[in-house]
Structure 1
Amino acid sequence: MSAPIAYNELAAKLKVELGDRVSTSDLQSAVLELRAGKGMVLDSADHDTWSVGSFFMNPRVTTAPENAPHWPEADGTVKVSAAWLIEQAGFNKGFTLNGRAALSSKHTLAITNRGDATSADISELADHIVAGVKSKFDIELKPEATFIN
């Protein structure tokens, strides 16, 4: 059996309540299906899956912006949805600066390689998004991805 289900989206997919347990095979199937729907399972025919996965971490702040999805943390801060911040700062799914690197058309947290992006293209897009979110909300996004020269 799995650990208790702790995510609303996963519980809904499995048709169970939060805290319920399911078989590990059911859990694996549901997680893979949810991740594939967001372009987070590699598919050689789908450029939206050519990414490092979720690129930015959900930032912790003292006060969440109005209407922002957020989750209270034990230390009194709140974790805010990075995807929401990105979208509200004007970066829609599929946003690109040069056509080579783009936000996924399925999920704004994934920066994708459209076929011939360089690491500089990825960094330029990430930096542009970080600056836009900082300008709109005074919140600095941090990359979840690890950069290798």
Structure 2
Amino acid sequence: MESWKFMLFELDIIDVICDDLEQQGYLIINRKTERRHEGIDIIAKKDSADSKEFFYIEVVGGTSSDPTSKKYGEPFDSSQCKIHVAEQLYKCMKHLSGPKIKEAYYKIGIAFEDNEYYRKHVEEIKQALNDLSIDVLFVKQDKEIKYLT
């Protein structure tokens, strides 16, 4: 059986996270719906009586979803996962540095398929992620979401 059938593509992870956020009372303002896409993968908003909260999440799957890619259907190796973590961290820094609505609260997150390589590289920078209040979501193949604690 092909290995990709046991890995989550980026869009699979986006679907899982958006479903979970909607159950938590968020409204999905923007979500990536196709492989090629510029911009933030997920933007969710939650209004309460005293504030507006925006949650920006960048997502990486466990394999390439591009059928023309050499990595299509093959798991990313440790070096590729490390690069993905670095790229997602850069995107988070851009979001943290960008313009904001004064009365709103912003959460920033990164999400990965839950595998040993992503966990290893995230664990190495866990303290900095905590200091910057960047949420890390790991999505398991059974679609359960685990937050880095």
Do the structures match in fold with TM over 0.5?
Answer: no
Greater strand share, 1 or 2?
A: 2
TM-score relative to the length of structure 1: 0.30
Structure whose alpha-carbon radius of gyration is higher:
1
TM-score relative to the length of structure 2: 0.30
